[in-house]
């Protein structure tokens, strides 16, 4: 019998309307009978005196008419809600109106009321309660048995605030998910109950035990005021217990202000990397940029495009954007059409190493601030093509720096990299030489009292989600079923977000007086193997079982560990505790300029060893690693 009932519930879709009407009419008939009984204090002998049979028939018939008028039978019982309750109450009011009209008609003909008004009132209340509660009971029974035969995911919601409660209601809309409890760090909430759902203390030592004890399949983050360290602790506990982790987007990103089930997404690895976001509160940034003429090189790249987005908010007079990547520049131009900015935008498809082309742009737009983000950045590619690294990263920087001085640019902000510290590859060394050039040029013009241009450098690590970075690569490899390729089991990297990197660039442009190399506390470096494993777990898969991890060996010029300062450098603290200025060796401009001019002569020489040897002569700490240029370090 039980099996038959479960099978019936499983296959049951929606009851036919006539069944609902029949049940409702029966309940209305019972309600009016109950009204007579209560009115007469359960004295059955007095029922015949009040002609109760006629009264029941009239009231029930009017009830049938009311049901058909109000369509109260149209609601799906297992989804009964507030609107259904209102419709049922409205139907009962219509019923009372019809019965009252019948009573008045009989009264005008000199006859007694068909149904006493006291019975009408009692029947109204009892019918409403019975009709509503039977629906709620059916809803509960249907939900209980439906859920008992469906393989439900057992869910913890992290955060018992308003967003957590809304998320719980959204999850209730699907029979495949059951909220088992809330996890809360706030001690005043732990141990309490919300709509029958318990709130558990989120103490880290107890979390793994709770996940296992309640056989949790999924945890959903709804709390927004949670530290990065705490979020990682919770995710690590979930990974240990093989619990899926998802997150609710911020309220401002809800579609039409409402949260839906398909908006609850897997947590991004970017949300777990790096450290607490560095919040830069410098009111001078906007005032320094407002009304200015800004020029951005490498404008279509990950950093350049974000600098453009942030600068445009400060209402500069104009922004000139330069990049040699046609498609990327076109995409950014399309994006700009939906941006709200009063700045005049100038778009140029051009190479920063083309001095004549750059001169014409400077001549026309006369920028007051230059953000130089144009560079080749991929280590293996530059190791195979050192002349291109020299051309773009060194000579291109020289072109832009020289023109900035010539045309009276107030600030020149160059984007560098942590790979410039104790470089082990051509790319890193080319960026270090670019740092040396702009810093020595700053010292030179300061000493000689020439047209003052402040040269500022920012140095940071890998940016999350940038073009060609490891995270998009790993995501693609996971989607394709693996394997994930990691160069070395011990390799580590620093990470930061693109908006954060660009905040630093803007801050440097405001804070810098000239000649500084700005670095900042990037937190702990991340082991790339751990990153790969975590990304696999967060995808709902198991490393080395569902997705294999293959070690391919360090690539040419690649380091195991990145640095922000070399062993001979120190850092000076700024007004922001997370931002520092690197104390680096200073070079004479005349000497550096002589080297750079030699590079110009060598780039067309097919003997690349000469170019790399010159780089090593200029930057003695440049020691090649896993590279054919290691031969130059011997002897």
pLDDT tens, residue by residue, 533-555: 888 887 778 888 888 888 888 77
The listed range with the strongest mean pLDDT (118-122, 280-284, 304-308, 348-352) is 348-352
Is pLDDT above 60 for 568?
Answer: no
| Lowest-pLDDT choice from 95-99, 313-317, 331-335, 435-439 | 95-99
pLDDT in tens, 492-512: 877 777 777 788 788 878 888
CA pair distance 527, 273, nearest whole angstrom:
11
Q: What is the CATH number of the domain that holds 180?
A: 3.40.50.720
Of the chain, the percentage scoring pLDDT greater than 90 comes to 20
In the prediction, which pLDDT does 280 show? 47
- Whether residue 468 is contained in a domain is answered as no
16 and 106 in a single domain? The answer is: yes
Whole-number Å distance between alpha carbons of 581 and 456: 10
Q: What is the mean pLDDT of the chain?
A: 80
Rg over alpha carbons for the chain, rounded to the nearest Å, is: 37
Answer with the one of 267, 300, 317 that is the final residue of a domain: 267
- Say if strands 570-573 and 579-583 run parallel, antiparallel, or are unpaired: antiparallel
- pLDDT confidence tier of residue 271, bands split at 50, 70 and 90: low
Quote the CA–CA distance of 208 and 449 in Å, as a whole number: 66
Query: Within a domain: residue 274?
Result: no
pLDDT over 80 (residue 73): no
The reported pLDDT for the residue numbered 553 is 82
Q: How do 177-184 and 197-201 pair as beta strands? A: parallel
Find all residues with CB under 8 Å of 421, minimum gap 6, and list them.
428, 432, 459, 562, 563, 564, 565, 566, 569
Q: What is the DSSP string of 327-343?
A: HHHHHHHHHHTTS---S
Last residue of a domain, one of 267, 296, 329: 267
Distances in whole angstroms, Cα of residue 549 to Cα of each of 440, 483, 489, 581: 45, 5, 10, 39
Whether 432 maps to a domain, the answer reads yes
The secondary element (H helix, E strand) that includes residue 17 is: helix 17-39
Partnered with residue 551 across adjacent β-strands are 486
Q: What is the mean pLDDT of residues 32-42?
A: 72
List the single range of 321-325, 382-386, 459-463, 519-523 with lowest mean pLDDT: 519-523
**Which pair of tokens denotes residue 369?**
């601030």
Distance of CA 599 to the CA centre of its chain: 44
Tell me, yes or no, whether 544 lies in a domain. no
**Which residues partner with 245 through β-bridges?**
219
What is the three-class DSSP state of 9? helix
**Among all chains, which residue has been given the structure tokens 């018992």?**
160
**242 and 377 housed in the same domain:** no
Phi, psi at residue 200, to the nearest 5°?
-100, 150
Distance CA 595, CA 597 (A): 5
Whose CA is closest to 131, among 94, 185, 87, 169?
A: 87
Is residue 567 domain-resident? yes
Say if residue 136's pLDDT is above 80: no
Written as six digits, the tokens of 513 are 């007086």
Give pLDDT, residue 9.
Answer: 47
Containing structural domain, residue 114: 2-148
Q: What are phi and psi of 397, to 5 degrees?
A: -65, -40
Task: Confirm whether 351 is domain-assigned.
Answer: yes
Same domain for 223 and 126, yes or no, is: no
More confident residue, 451 or 154: 154
- Flag the least confident range among 192-196, 281-285, 514-518: 281-285
Domain stop point among 93, 115, 148: 148
Q: What average pLDDT does range 373-386 have in this prediction?
A: 90
291 pLDDT above the threshold of 50: yes
Indicate if the pLDDT at residue 564 is higher than 80. no
Q: Are residues 448 and 308 in the same domain?
A: yes
Specify the pLDDT at position 429.
93
Report if residue 469 sits inside a domain: no
Cβ atoms within 10 Å, residue 272? 19
Among 237-246, 306-315, 508-517, top mean pLDDT goes to 306-315
In a domain, residue 279? The reply is no
Give the 3-state secondary structure of residue 255: strand
Judge if 291 and 430 occupy the same domain: yes
Helix (H) or strand (E) holding 141, with range, is helix 117-148
pLDDT at 236: 83
Q: How many domains does the chain have?
A: 3
Q: What is the mean pLDDT of residues 260-281?
A: 65
Per-residue pLDDT, 479: 85
Least trusted range by pLDDT, from 94-103, 460-469, 497-506? 460-469
Separation between Cα atoms, residue 469 and residue 462, nearest integer Å: 8
| Residue 393 pLDDT exceeds 90 | yes
From CA 514, how far away is CA 241, in angstroms rounded?
Answer: 52
**Cα 309 to the chain's mean position, in Å?**
18
C-alpha distance from residue 409 to each of 258, 444, 449 (Å): 49, 16, 15
Q: What integer pLDDT is reported at residue 441 of this predicted model?
A: 92
SS3 percent helix, strand, coil of the chain, rounded to 5, is 50, 15, 35
Using alpha carbons, select from 73, 29, 421, 472 the residue that is nearest to residue 269. 472
Enter the DSSP assignment of 268.
Answer: P
Whether residue 393 sits in one domain with residue 346: yes
Q: Indicate if 312 and 388 belong to the same structural domain.
A: yes
Q: Are residues 125 and 165 in the same domain?
A: no
- Taking every pair of C-alpha atoms in the chain, what is the biggest distance, in angstroms? 128
Question: Which pLDDT value is given to residue 221?
Answer: 85
Strand (E) or helix (H) holding 473: helix 470-479
Decide if pLDDT at 211 tops 70: yes
Number of Cβ atoms within 10 Å of the Cβ of 130: 17
Mean per-residue pLDDT, 10-26: 69
Going by the DSSP 8-state scheme, the letter that residue 554 receives in this structure is: P
Together in a domain, 112 and 167: no
Burial class (CB in 10 A: 0-12, 13-18, 19+), 604: exposed
Residue 401 and residue 309 share a domain: yes
Q: Which residue has the higher pLDDT, 384 or 23?
A: 384
Residues 206, 314 within the same domain: no
Q: Is residue 405 located within the same domain as residue 503?
A: yes
Q: How confident is the model at residue 329 (pLDDT cuts 50, 70, 90)?
A: very high
Predicted confidence band at 145 (pLDDT cuts at 50, 70, 90)?
low
Specify the pLDDT at position 88. 77
> What residues contact 514, with CB distance under 8 A and at least 6 apart?
442, 446, 452, 453, 454, 455, 456
């Amino acid at each position: 019998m039980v099996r038959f009932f479960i099978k019936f519930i499983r296959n049951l879709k929606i009851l036919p309307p006539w069944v609902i009407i029949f049940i409702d009419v029966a309940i209305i008939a019972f309600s009016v009978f109950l009204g007579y009984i209560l009115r007469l204090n359960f004295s059955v002998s007095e029922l015949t005196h009040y002609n109760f049979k006629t009264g029941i028939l009239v009231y029930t018939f009017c009830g049938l008419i009311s049901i058909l008028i109000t369509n109260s039978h149209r609601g799906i019982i297992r989804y009964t809600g507030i609107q259904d309750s209102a419709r049922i109450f409205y139907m009962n009011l219509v019923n009372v109106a019809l019965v009252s009209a019948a009573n008045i008609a009989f009264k005008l003909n000199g006859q007694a009321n068909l149904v006493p008004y006291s019975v009408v009132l009692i029947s109204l209340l009892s019918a409403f309660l019975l009709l509503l509660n039977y629906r709620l009971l059916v809803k509960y029974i249907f939900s209980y048995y439906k859920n008992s035969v469906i393989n439900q995911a057992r869910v913890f919601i992290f955060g018992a605030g308003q967003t957590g409660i809304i998320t719980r209601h959204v999850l209730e809309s699907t029979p495949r998910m059951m909220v088992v409890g809330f996890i809360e760090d706030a001690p005043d909430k732990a141990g309490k109950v919300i709509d029958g759902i318990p709130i558990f203390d989120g103490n880290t030592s107890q979390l793994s035990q709770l996940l296992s004890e309640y056989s949790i399949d999924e945890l959903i983050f709804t709390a927004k005021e949670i530290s990065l360290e705490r979020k990682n602790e919770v995710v690590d506990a979930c990974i240990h217990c093989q619990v899926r982790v998802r997150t609710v987007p911020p309220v401002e990103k809800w579609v039409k202000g409402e949260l839906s089930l398909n908006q609850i997404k897997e947590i991004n690895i970017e949300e777990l990397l790096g450290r607490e976001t560095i919040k830069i509160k410098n009111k001078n940034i906007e005032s320094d940029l407002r009304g200015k003429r800004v020029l951005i090189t490498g404008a279509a790249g990950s950093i350049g495009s974000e600098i453009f987005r942030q600068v445009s908010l400060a209402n500069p007079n104009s922004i000139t954007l330069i990049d040699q990547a046609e498609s990327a520049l076109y995409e950014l131009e399309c994006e700009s059409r939906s941006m709200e900015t009063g700045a005049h935008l100038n778009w140029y498809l051009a190479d920063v190493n083309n001095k004549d082309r750059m001169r014409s742009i400077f001549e026309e737009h006369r920028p007051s601030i230059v953000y130089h983000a144009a560079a080749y950045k991929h280590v293996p590619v530059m190791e195979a093509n050192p002349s291109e690294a020299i051309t773009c990263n060194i000579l291109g920087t020289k072109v832009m720096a020289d023109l900035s001085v010539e045309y009276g640019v107030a600030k020149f902000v160059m984007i560098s990299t942590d790979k410039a510290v104790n470089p082990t590859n051509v790319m890193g060394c080319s960026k270090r030489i670019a740092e040396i050039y702009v810093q020595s040029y700053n010292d030179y013009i300061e000493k000689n009292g020439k047209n003052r241009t402040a040269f500022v450098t920012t140095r940071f690590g890998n940016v999350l989600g940038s073009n060609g970075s490891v995270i998009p690569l790993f995501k693609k490899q996971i989607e394709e079923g693996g394997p994930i390729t990691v160069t070395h089991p011990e390799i580590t990297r620093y990470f930061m977000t693109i908006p954060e990197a660009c905040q630093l660039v803007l801050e440097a442009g405001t804070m810098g007086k000239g000649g500084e190399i700005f670095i900042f506390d990037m937190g702990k470096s991340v082991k790339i193997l751990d990153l790969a494993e975590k990304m696999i777990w967060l995808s709902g898969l198991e490393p080395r079982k569902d997705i294999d991890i293959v070690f391919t060996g360090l690539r040419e010029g690649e380091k195991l560990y990145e640095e922000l300062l070399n062993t001979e450098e120190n850092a000076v603290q700024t007004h922001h505790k997370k931002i520092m200025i690197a104390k680096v060796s200073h070079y004479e401009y005349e000497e550096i300029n002589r080297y750079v001019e030699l590079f110009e002569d060598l780039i067309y020489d097919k003997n690349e060893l000469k170019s790399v040897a010159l780089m090593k002569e200029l930057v003695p700490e440049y020691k090649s690693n896993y590279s054919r240029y290691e031969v130059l370090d011997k002897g």
